[in-house]
Structures are given as structure tokens and as C-alpha cells.
């Protein structure tokens, strides 16, 4: 029996606005550790790598995401020891149907036609053995030319998910998110399942279905794929061409048109699945005390019921609360009722309209070379902790409006200032005058950490003129 070639496709382009303030557009929820010891994205990658066996050969994953998160993707996969076959970078978000189409076109390169196993990057399961068994059954169905979709066996009348109605193992109907009464009726009927957004089919089958139901999306994606540029694992479709692709979801573009027309099968999934779409869902999967309270971090809860407290940087205490969510980060705190936790996205939208930095970035900002944490700031000064990975370096740059003092806390720093190159050890420091070309590099084998004190008339991150950059930034 010939083995079935499988190409995992991880959809990692979401913004996770309903999990603000922990999730930000610059570091969205799929890259956060919300359960266990690895991020949701890493959990998705690990689950798919475990799919091999039973006549299934699993390739390295294809990841579809956006340009801003490309180094997060590589770093988190590297921690797992996984090298992606490609990271497809969308220049703009066009929803899931174009994203899957890019992955299908990548998978079809070289005359191959693997089975695509498409999954979002922001879900959890508690029973990985059950998940793997269901997905393997779906792969065997897809290998025969069918479209297979995973339907989660519901355990409550959920109004936040779309549903699938199944008949004799096939999809009879997709239905939108219901009201509570309708959800209760679906649960009682027994033939409705949650739509988890995970589906399995050959790359050629996706393209054929897309060209049948949405030929405009298929043609536009092919036009964007033609001028693509490849840089190591990164594949960038044509920017202008991809911006012209109609934005549409997989469900609306293809799946909802399939019942009764194409062979679309549903594989039941009972594996403790959750998409962690809002803080209510995070509360559901977090261990609780006898009063239903769940805590993460340095949190103390007293005389409270069914409350969730997530503390990131300090002690958070709660007294006399019921059905409340409290999430603390160094620069923002959220307090919300659990039943309204979906509406956090409205706060994020307001932050965006007001151009507040808390919408996009944490106080601690991750960069391809490491991270920086803005620990203090005033009208003409800012203090940062900066960590540089071993062997990494910041860009060769200069600033028009600020000078900088650097103090080495741990590790060894190689500092370029103008035409001079200095090596600084722990407790040593240097000064970077305003307008001077400079670079910071870690030549050692342990992380380098420094304290940077900035002073000047303007301290924004856009006051950087880059002359050379290892990571291709402008």
C-alpha cells in the first residue's frame, strides 16, 4: 500500500483581538502560552507532526501568516526543532480562502499533490490521541478525493460557533452562529457539530472546488502567486496583486456550497477541543478551585465565584467577584464580565481609532534579534531593558533626536560607534552621541542584556535610520 503524503497547513495570520490585553496585533494570541508550556501555534505544529503512521507520511508544515510575525513563526518552530517547508507571508489580510489557496499552490509545486491538513493556529485539544485518530480517518477519506471536515461533538449549547449538520457521515448543511434557543435545539437533536475550521483535502481538490465556486479568487491568487519572491523559508506573493484578491472565508467561498454538489464528509471530533476565542473560553480550560475560580500568575482570589484572574507582572487580588475576568499586563488592565468577554474587541477597535500603542504592542516588544522592555519614560527620557540573542545583532543605525547610554548587565557586548568597535563586559558602559552611527551585537554564547537610557527631544521608534540590517528591515 502506498503511503499518503500529507502537507500540514497552519493558518497563523489572526489578530486575536478578543484576548486583549494579553494578545496584541504585534504579538497575537496564537503565539501566547495560554495553556501548558508551549504557545497555541507550537501546540498546533506539534499535533500535526504527530499525525504520521497508519500509512501517512507527514512533511514539514507550511505556515501562512503575515510579514510582521515572520520571525515569531521561525523562532517558535525552532524551539520545537521543526523547520517549515515554507512560510507564506500575506502582504495584507484577505481572509482564509486566499490564504489556503496560497498554501495549495505551494503544495502543488514540482508536480506534487499532497493531502492538505488545514488547521488554525489558535486552538487547543486535551485528548491528543483522539484528535490524531480523527484526523487520520479524515486523511484517508481525503486521499480518495473527498473533502473531509472535522466536526466537534458539542457538550453545551454554544452560541459563539458555527455548526455543521451531518447525515450518515456526510455534511448536509452548514449553519451560522445560533441564538441560545437554537443552540439548545441543535444540542438536543444530536446531529449538529461545532465547525472547528479544520479540513482535509488534496491540494488539487481545493483548487478545483475554488475554481468551480469562486473562479475570481482562484484567478486573483494565481496572479499574485506568479510574481512571488522567495527568501530562505519566506515566500512573498506579489503585493499589489494579492491586495486585489477578494477577501473571503473558506466556509463562504467553498465549504457552504459543497453539500449536495461535492463529496464532503464530516469526521466527528471528541477531543476536548477549544478555540480560545475569548476570555470566557480561556476560563473554561484553566484549572479551577472548588468555587470555579481560575487564576494564572501571582493572583489571590477571596469570596468569589466563577472568576478568572490572569496576573502577568505583579500581585493581583480580587474580593467578592462573580463571573468576572481580570487580566493584568505591565501597561494595561482589563476588567470584564465573563458573558461580555467577546466584546473586548470593541475596546481594541477604540484603541485603534485613537492610535494608542496598547492596541499593537506590549511594553515588552519582541524583535528578531531578541526583545526590549520599556521600563520607564518621561518627557525627555526613556529607559529600556534590551536582550540580544547569542550571535544576533541590531541594525547599523543612527538617530536624529536622541542620544543613548548603554550599560551591560549580563553577557558581552560588541559595540560599533562611528569607526570604533568596543567590547564591553558586565558593569561596563558606553555613550552613543546623537546622530552617531552605531550597532549592538552579541558575540557570545549566552544572552546579552543591557540597560539603555535614552535622552532627547523625541524618543519614538520611528527615529531610526537603518544602514545595514540582517533581517531585511527598511
Burial of residue 34, with CB atoms counted within 10 A of its CB: 0-12 exposed, 13-18 middle, 19 or more buried? buried
Q: Is 202 helix (H, G, I), strand (E, B) or coil?
A: strand
Q: Where are the domains of the chain?
A: 4-269, 279-351, 364-468
User: What's the CA angle centered on 315, arms 312 and 316, to 5 degrees?
Assistant: 85
Tell me which residue has cell 558593569.
427
Residue 316 C-alpha cell reads as 493581583
Contact 297, 182 (CB under 8 A): no
- Supply the pLDDT for residue 473: 66
pLDDT in tens for each of the 474 residues of the chain? 578 999 999 999 888 889 999 999 889 999 999 877 899 999 999 999 989 888 899 999 999 999 889 989 999 999 999 999 999 999 998 999 999 999 999 999 989 999 999 999 999 999 999 999 999 999 999 999 999 999 999 999 988 889 999 999 999 999 989 999 999 999 999 999 999 999 999 999 999 999 999 999 999 999 999 999 998 899 999 999 999 999 999 999 999 999 989 999 999 999 999 988 899 999 998 999 999 999 999 999 999 999 999 999 999 999 999 999 999 999 999 999 999 998 999 999 999 999 998 998 889 988 889 999 999 999 999 999 999 999 999 999 999 999 999 999 999 999 999 999 999 999 999 999 999 999 999 999 999 999 999 999 999 888 999 998 887 766
269, 270, 423 from 151: Cα distances, Å:
6, 9, 58
**In contact, 71 and 471? CB cutoff 8 Å:** yes
Distance (Å, whole) CA 140 – CA 2: 12
Which among 282, 285, 291, 259 has a CA at the least distance from the CA of 271?
A: 285
Q: Which run of H or E residues covers position 94?
A: none
Question: In whole angstroms, what is the distance from residue 73 CA to residue 23 CA?
Answer: 16
- Beta-carbon contacts of 454 under 8 Å, excluding residues fewer than 6 positions away, are 381, 382, 383, 384, 402, 403, 404
**Residue that is written with C-alpha cell 468555587 in the block:** 291
CB atoms within 10 A of CB 223: 16
Q: Sheet of 370-378: strands edge to edge? A: 364-367, 370-378, 381-388, 448-456, 402-410, 429-432
CATH number given to 4-269: 3.90.550.10
Asked if domains 4-269 and 364-468 share a fold, the reply is no
Can you spell out the DSSP letters for 41-58? HHHHHHHHHTT-BTTEEE
Query: What residues contact 148, with CB distance under 8 A and at least 6 apart?
Result: 137, 138, 139, 141, 142, 199, 200, 201, 264, 265, 266, 267
Is residue 447 helix, strand or coil? coil
Cα gap 450→290, rounded to integer Å: 44
CA dist 316 and 330 (Å) reads 12
Query: What does each C-alpha distance from 222 to 87, 130, 211, 229 come to in angstroms?
Result: 17, 37, 11, 14
Q: What CATH number does the domain located at 364-468 have?
A: 2.60.120.10
Amino acid at each position: 500500500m502506498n503511503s499518503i503524503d500529507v502537507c500540514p497547513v497552519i493558518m497563523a495570520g489572526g489578530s486575536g483581538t478578543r484576548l486583549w490585553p494579553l494578545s496584541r496585533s504585534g504579538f497575537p494570541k496564537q503565539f501566547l502560552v495560554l495553556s501548558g508550556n508551549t504557545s497555541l501555534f507550537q501546540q498546533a505544529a506539534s499535533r500535526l507532526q504527530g499525525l504520521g503512521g497508519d500509512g501517512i507520511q507527514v512533511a514539514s508544515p507550511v505556515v501562512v501568516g503575515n510579514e510582521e510575525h515572520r520571525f515569531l513563526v521561525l523562532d517558535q518552530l525552532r524551539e520545537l526543532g521543526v523547520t517549515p517547508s515554507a512560510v507564506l507571508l500575506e502582504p495584507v489580510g484577505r481572509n482564509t480562502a486566499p490564504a489556503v489557496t496560497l498554501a495549495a499552490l505551494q503544495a502543488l509545486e514540482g508536480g506534487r499533490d499532497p493531502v492538505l491538513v488545514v488547521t488554525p493556529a489558535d486552538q487547543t485539544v486535551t485528548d491528543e490521541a483522539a484528535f490524531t485518530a480523527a484526523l487520520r480517518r479524515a486523511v484517508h477519506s481525503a486521499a480518495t478525493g473527498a473533502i473531509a471536515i472535522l466536526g466537534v461533538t458539542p457538550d453545551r449549547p454554544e452560541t459563539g460557533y458555527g455548526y455543521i449538520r451531518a447525515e450518515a457521515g456526510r455534511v448536509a448543511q452548514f449553519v451560522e452562529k445560533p441564538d441560545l434557543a437554537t443552540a439548545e435545539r441543535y444540542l438536543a437533536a444530536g446531529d449538529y457539530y461545532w465547525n472547528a475550521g479544520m479540513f482535509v483535502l488534496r491540494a488539487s481538490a481545493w483548487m478545483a472546488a475554488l475554481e468551480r465556486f469562486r473562479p475570481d479568487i482562484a484567478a486573483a491568487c494565481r496572479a499574485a502567486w506568479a510574481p512571488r519572491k522567495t527568501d530562505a523559508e519566506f515566500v512573498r506573493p506579489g503585493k499589489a496583486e494579492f491586495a486585489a484578491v477578494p477577501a473571503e472565508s473558506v466556509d463562504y467561498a467553498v465549504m457552504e456550497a459543497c453539500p449536495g454538489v461535492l463529496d464532503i464528509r464530516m469526521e466527528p471530533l471528541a477531543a476536548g477541543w477549544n478555540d480560545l476565542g475569548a476570555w470566557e473560553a480561556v476560563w473554561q480550560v484553566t484549572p479551577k478551585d472548588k468555587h470555579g475560580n481560575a487564576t494564572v500568575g501571582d493572583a489571590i482570589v477571596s469570596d468569589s465565584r466563577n472568576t478568572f484572574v490572569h496576573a502577568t507582572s505583579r500581585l493581583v487580588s480580587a474580593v467578592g467577584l462573580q463571573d468576572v475576568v481580570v487580566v493584568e499586563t505591565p501597561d494595561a488592565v482589563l476588567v470584564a464580565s465573563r458573558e461580555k468577554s467577546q466584546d473586548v474587541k470593541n475596546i481594541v477597535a477604540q484603541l485603534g481609532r485613537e492610535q494608542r500603542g496598547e492596541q499593537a504592542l506590549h511594553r515588552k516588544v519582541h524583535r528578531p534579534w531578541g526583545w526590549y522592555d520599556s521600563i520607564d519614560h518621561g518627557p525627555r527620557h526613556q529607559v529600556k531593558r534590551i536582550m540580544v540573542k547569542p550571535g544576533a545583532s541590531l541594525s547599523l543605525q543612527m538617530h536624529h533626536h536622541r542620544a543613548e547610554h548603554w550599560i551591560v548587565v549580563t553577557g558581552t557586548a560588541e559595540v560599533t560607534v562611528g569607526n570604533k568597535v568596543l567590547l564591553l563586559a558586565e558593569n561596563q558602559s558606553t555613550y552613543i552621541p546623537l546622530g552617531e552611527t552605531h550597532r549592538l551585537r552579541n558575540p557570545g554564547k549566552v544572552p546579552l542584556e543591557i540597560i539603555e537610557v535614552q535622552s532627547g527631544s523625541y524618543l519614538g521608534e520611528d527615529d531610526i535610520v537603518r544602514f545595514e540590517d540582517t533581517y531585511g528591515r527598511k
